[in-house]
Amino acid sequence: MTLREWAPVFSLLALGAAGCGRRATQADCDLIFSRYVEVQLRAVHVTDPVEVAKREQAMRTEMKDDLKLCPGKRITDSMLRCVQNAETNDDIDKCTRF
């Protein structure tokens, strides 16, 4: 996968409106990113945990500067629950838009 194919994950960094919720922690951001990668890879039938972890680490390395922007963005607990239950990356995108 190329960085261009991962462009939708950048929308996750927009995470919510300024006036509600709480500030995202690094753990929150890691959860969102990991879930996005997991759902994306499952969509292309990559489910081996070792391969998923390998690809996730490669993406984290490639996107490290962008991922640094996530902590501190506004999120809600309901948004995180939505991300955890999402079945597609479109679902995740909807969860992160307020």
Tens of each residue's pLDDT in the chain, 98 residues: 444 454 555 555 554 444 578 999 999 999 999 999 999 999 999 999 999 999 999 999 999 888 899 999 999 999 999 999 999 988 988 888 75
What's the rounded Cα separation, in Å, for the pair 79 and 97? 9
| pLDDT the model gives residue 82 | 94
Q: How far is CA 79 from CA 11, 58, 95, in A?
A: 14, 26, 6
Gyration radius of the chain over CA positions? 13
| pLDDT the model gives residue 93 | 86
